[in-house]
Amino acid sequence: MKHGLRLRIAVAFAITCIAVVSALGLTLYTASEELEEELVNQIVSEEVDYLMQRHRADPGYMPTAGPNLQYYILRTPGDAAQVPELMRALPVGNHEVGRGTDERHVAVREATGIRYIAVYDSGPHEIREQQFQQLLLLALGTLFIAAFVLGYWLAGVLTRQLTELSQRVARLAPDVPHETLARPDQEREIAGLARALDDYQARIARMLRREQEFTANASHELRTPLTGIQTSCELLAAEPDLNARTRARIDMIAAAADRMAGQIQALLFLAREQDPGAVQPVVLATCVADAAASCRAEFARKGLQLEIDVAAGAVLRLDPRALHLVLVNLLGNALRHTEHGTIRVAYRAPRLTVTDSGAGIAPEHLPRLFERYYRASEESHGMGLGLAIVQQVCAQNGWHIEVASAVGSGSTFTLALA
């Protein structure tokens, strides 16, 4: 999952702070540790040198051991028994014996056959180092939380104008005038982005106006000759002395003109995003009857039976034009794929079903049935737009359409109106 820009800026800020402070803390820790090692080595070296000087001046001198320092003077081989075993065989020089809180710094010197040893207990220093490490880790954890909170706040300040701009862009509509996105108080980069979005929005609005003008002109220019053809067919069909062959051809021309008018209407509908119409109480049985009336001639030509099982008192609040368009397309689709039998429209709240006794639809075609220009069979008539229109109208009105079908068993389209 992708995180928001503000969160990523906050995390990056916190990580950067931790990296810088960790590097600084590690440097200071390393430097202090090295400095402490050098200081301890200097102490034991000075102590053993002082021990040698005093013993030369006073052979009976033996310093008193302190809380962190012990001294040994080995005159004879037997004196070695008083020295801890790990330190007996150490050569001349400075050494570290043990680890952690048991660490000892040992300085060994020899003069005139006498061995001088100074032992410094660095356990307390190791304890302080461990405490310093814990304090450093605690400080880093606290710093990370503080840096994250501060970074999140700073990121909010830095991205506030960008967030406001994105919210304003989300509310834009291409066909509604709006205030320009660019403002004088915006940062230079945000203002540049806002101006680019204003220009883009203006281009979209111009393209939309041109598209609307084109569709309106195309609708007018195409419908005018089709109306003339349909009128001429009606006038010719009214002539009493036409023979059967001529009348059949006139009917074919009229049917083709009707199909072309329907296809033009479908193309214009898909080319424009239609706003939902006015919602009002609709008598469902009347709406179904009106949609079926437009298909009455095709029912009669095929000899199909139409059954309407809708209660007379069923009233719904919806857009009647949208429901009429959906029903006309569903009935038209059923008519195209049914050669004999019955087409049934039924309503059981909140679902309206259109069932046919046609050839049915193979399972592989069902997922793409509502795509534009998709036809389950090359033999089927039409442009493959009817069900695409149904899907688009349902999406605009908050309805849900689904289909159940099997080859040889017909199809059932279920429209959920709630």
In a 13 Å sphere around the CA of 176, the CA atoms on its Cβ side amount to 7
- What's residue 354's pLDDT? 93
How far apart are alpha carbons 264 and 254 in whole angstroms?
15
Q: Is the pLDDT of residue 54 over 70?
A: yes
Burial of 103 (0-12, 13-18, 19+ CB in 10 A): middle
User: Both 288 and 350 in a single domain?
Assistant: yes
User: Both 329 and 234 in a single domain?
Assistant: no
How far apart are alpha carbons 271 and 156 in whole angstroms?
41
User: Both 301 and 393 in a single domain?
Assistant: yes
Its domain, for residue 338, covers: 276-416
Nearest Cα to Cα of residue 394 among 368, 360, 376, 418? 418
pLDDT in tens, 249-277: 887 888 777 767 766 766 666 555 555 55
Residue 114 main-chain phi, psi, to 5 deg: -110, 135
Average pLDDT value for the chain: 81
User: Both 283 and 400 in a single domain?
Assistant: yes
- The CATH number given to whatever domain includes residue 350 is 3.30.565.10
Spell out the residues 6+ positions from residue 235 whose beta carbon is closer than 8 angstroms to its own. none
User: Both 356 and 400 in a single domain?
Assistant: yes
Choose the weakest-confidence range: 19-23, 373-377, 414-418.
373-377
User: Both 298 and 400 in a single domain?
Assistant: yes
Angle at the Cα of 173 from the Cα atoms of 325 and 274, rounded to 5 degrees: 10
Asked if residue 286 is part of any domain, the answer here is: yes
Top-confidence range, 40-49, 143-152, 237-246, 280-289:
280-289
**DSSP-assigned beta bridge partners for residue 356:** 343, 411
Asked if residue 35 is part of any domain, the answer here is: yes
User: Both 80 and 21 in a single domain?
Assistant: yes
How far apart are alpha carbons 39 and 169 in whole angstroms?
67
Choose the weakest-confidence range: 177-186, 282-291, 346-355.
177-186
Nearest Cα to Cα of residue 120 among 141, 136, 97? 97
Structure tokens at 335: 């008519």
Asked if residue 336 is part of any domain, the answer here is: yes
User: Both 238 and 327 in a single domain?
Assistant: no
Asked if residue 176 is part of any domain, the answer here is: no
Could you give the number of structural domains in the chain? 3
Residue where one domain finishes, among candidates 266, 298, 331: 266
CB 277 within 8 A of CB 269: no
- What's residue 379's pLDDT? 54
Asked if residue 315 is part of any domain, the answer here is: yes
Evaluate the omega torsion of the peptide bond into residue 59 and state whether it is cis, within 30 degrees of 0.
no
pLDDT grade for 1, boundaries at 50, 70 and 90: very low
Asked if residue 172 is part of any domain, the answer here is: no
User: Both 330 and 412 in a single domain?
Assistant: yes
Top-confidence range, 130-134, 157-161, 171-175:
130-134
C-alpha distances in angstroms, 366 versus 238, 361, 371?
44, 7, 10
pLDDT grade for 3, boundaries at 50, 70 and 90: low
CB 240 within 8 A of CB 210: no
Choose the weakest-confidence range: 48-62, 165-179, 305-319, 333-347.
165-179
User: Both 327 and 383 in a single domain?
Assistant: yes
Give the three-state DSSP class for 235.
helix
DSSP at 65: P
Taking each helix axis from N to C end, the angle separating 5-57 and 123-170, rounded to the nearest 10 degrees, works out to 170
Helix and strand totals (H; E) in the chain: 9, 11
pTM above 0.85, yes or no: no
E runs forming strands in 122-261: none
pLDDT in tens, 178-192: 778 788 877 788 788
**DSSP-assigned beta bridge partners for residue 107:** 94, 118
pLDDT in tens, 133-161: 788 788 878 888 888 888 888 777 777 77
User: Both 232 and 313 in a single domain?
Assistant: no
Asked if residue 173 is part of any domain, the answer here is: no
Asked if residue 103 is part of any domain, the answer here is: yes
Cα torsion 256, 411, 413, 283: sign? positive
Residue where one domain finishes, among candidates 235, 266, 297: 266
- The CATH number given to whatever domain includes residue 193 is 1.20.58
Residue where one domain finishes, among candidates 248, 266, 284: 266
CB 337 within 8 A of CB 358: yes
User: Both 401 and 322 in a single domain?
Assistant: yes
In a 13 Å sphere around the CA of 282, the CA atoms on its Cβ side amount to 22
